[in-house]
Amino acid sequence: MRASEKLELLEKLVSIPVYRVVGYTSGWLVYSSTRGGVESLWAVNPETGEEKLVAQGPVHGYAKPRHPSTIIVYLRDVARGRELHKVFAVDLHGGEERVFADAPPMRVFGLAYDGVRLAFSGATMKGMGLYLARKDGGYEELMKLETMLFPTDVSEKYVVGSGMMRKDPRSMEIFVYDLDSNMVETYTPREGSVNKAPRLFGSKILFESDYEGSSKLYVYDLEEENLEAPSMKGSDYREYSPTEHVDYGWTIDGRIWAIGIREGRSKAFIDGYAVPSPEGFVGSMDVSPRGEAYYSFSRLTEPPKIYAARDGEARILVDNKLPEEISGRIGEARHIWYRSSDGLRIPGFIVESRGAPKPGPTIIYVHGGPWGAVTDSWSILIAGLVISGYHIVAPNFRGSTGYGEKFRLMDIGDPGGGDLEDVIAARNLAVKEGLASKTIIMGYSYGGYMTYLALGRKPEAWDAGVAGAGIVDWEEMYGLSDAIFRKFIEVLFDGYNPDLLRDRSPVKYVDNVKAPLCIIHPQNDTRTPLKPVLKYVSRLLEQGKTFEVHVLPDAGHRIATMSDVVRILFPAVLFLDKYVGGED
């Protein structure tokens, strides 16, 4: 296939919208969509099917709306990709966009809204804070933060959320800020446990905790100080026994809805009864006052749709289909388990390309985070590589989410250690099973970091590498970061440890790189800054290595537009076609 044909195929791919449910309010379902090439907020009337644009993108985040309020709250980046946000609002039924919280631009990393007031956490270069804003545009700082803290709900009386209140990177506690007394309290069922994302219903909070070993949902009454398992009528949820939860919340009449995940696939439940859905991944959900569930659904082989479900039946509310020329090139996707070098069982996914033989060129695709995962849900980056003639093996290395807190915490204090061994074992699996003729490592963000590190520490394993928005020098990144990302590095490395930072920095191993390397990096990236990467490139140049560098002008770390996807995928595919011989 000629380069021009691959470009045409990629452009068709990115024109396929990505959908995600935001929430239901006032007779409308609000959802995000990349329709038109940029993430914007839309709404659909479930009864009539009428759709309308609510907020033109790029939108960089949003709060779940609260019925019956018609005000939709969301974030915009006001600094050309540098992720300095301001909070905006618009009425669902029309009107001008306005600033909701007239705070200075900052990186907002937690957002909760109850229809009247907004709680958010934000970071600058100097520090972090928890803030409260109201409709008139005013805001106040409730408290300065010395640790990572994420508000997840707010009411007239409380702001609640979770964070590392005890400053232990291996635990997470619930915080409760009393708006009457201006006092904050910390709650944990057991010291050292991980407790996440509380949701309010009166004086009760619903949250996930591993305090009894596995991650389960619990209800705690803030006034009665009583902890109990949630009451659910249906047995479907217990029989499914999720490993973790994608999301959860309360219905307007006090029942519990939840999206549980097992082995990279998820199911939705209301009051313990399963919400009808195909097998795959339910990614986001809300429930109307009448009890109708709305959720987004996708697979690695199928783009997102939005479903409405009630009384045991589901219908497509917002449809989405792949053109035959794209669907015909995407082969089987399957969940796998394999053993790492130390015997640990590692999960992951394989997606085969119908445009490549077996064995054929295979990309070991490393997800970002590191606290993330590849699930059986639509990924434009993975789909773009598959239709371009590359098989994909996507390891969910130790540190990935969705497989329990014990597995996720294995990355703390050891980034670039055991997780790198898991990636190498995935590469060896691809060769052993006859999938891979040549092996490529590729990833974005933390996946870009792992690409750099793998090429330097395991140079014989690879035929090529593609590093997107990666990290090459943890020490220099720490000095360039704002308060939240300095804290992120401290958490990941279990404290500020200069020796470990240097040892796990790819710049230390740059002289060992043998395989051709394609570097793709946003110009205005403030999470993984460009400056250290340019120094790494200088070392590559001095050593006479084979490499390409693509700096994306006026782009930030977050992939904000579908044109950015093409700017990442197309140079990567051309590079790989040249050096490892992409098929057809």
Average pLDDT for 425-436? 98
| Annotated catalytic residue within 193, 445, 481, 505 | 445
Q: Are 397 and 346 in contact (CB under 8 A)?
A: yes
Half-sphere exposure of 250 (CA within 13 A, CB side): 21
pLDDT tens for each residue of 456-481: 999 999 999 999 999 999 999 999 99
What average pLDDT score do residues 481-506 get? 97
Binning pLDDT at 50, 70 and 90, where does residue 239 land?
A: very high
Catalytic residue among 286, 473, 525, 564: 525
Q: Are 335 and 305 in contact (CB under 8 A)?
A: no
- pLDDT tens digit string along 59-92? 999 999 999 999 999 999 999 999 999 999 999 9
Q: How far is CA 329 from CA 28, 326, 347, 353, in A?
A: 36, 5, 25, 6
**pLDDT computed for residue 134 by the predictor:** 86
13 backbone dihedrals φ, ψ, rounded to 5°: -60, -45
Architecture of domain 324-577: 3-Layer(aba) Sandwich (3.40)
In three-state secondary structure terms, 580 is helix
Residue 22 binned pLDDT confidence (cut-offs 50, 70, 90): very high
Percentage of residues of the chain with pLDDT beyond 70: 99
Q: What are 304-356's pLDDT values in tens digits?
A: 999 999 999 999 999 999 999 999 999 999 999 999 999 999 999 999 999 99
pLDDT at 135 over 90: no
Compute the radius of gyration of the chain from its Cα atoms: 23
Measured distance CA(442)–CA(254) in Å, rounded: 45
- Indicate if the pLDDT at residue 583 is higher than 60: no
pTM of the prediction?
0.97
Q: Is 327 an annotated catalytic residue?
A: no
What are the E-state strand segments in 156-237?
158-163, 173-178, 183-187, 195-201, 204-209, 216-221, 226-228
Residue 525 is among the residues annotated as catalytic for this protein: yes
Q: What is the pLDDT of residue 136?
A: 79
- For the chain, the average pLDDT equals 96
Q: What is the pLDDT of residue 349?
A: 98
The confidence score (pLDDT) of residue 445 equals 98
pLDDT at 169 over 80: yes
* Nearest C-alpha neighbor of 543 from the set 426, 481, 459: 459
Convert the pLDDT of each residue in 516-546 to its tens digit.
999 999 999 999 999 999 999 999 999 999 9
DSSP conformational letter for 224: T
Look at residue 582 in the predicted model and tell me its pLDDT: 57
- Residue 398 above 70 pLDDT? yes
137 band by pLDDT with thresholds 50, 70 and 90: confident
Specify the pLDDT at position 258. Answer: 98
Give CA separation, 65 vs 38, 284, 508, in Å. 21, 13, 47
* In the predicted structure, residue 484 carries a pLDDT above the cut 60: yes
pLDDT on residue 504: 98
Residue 126 DSSP symbol:
S
Active site residue 245: no
DSSP 351-416: EEETTS-SSEEEEEEEPSSSS----SS--HHHHHHHHTT-EEEEE--TT-SSS-HHHHGGGTT-TT
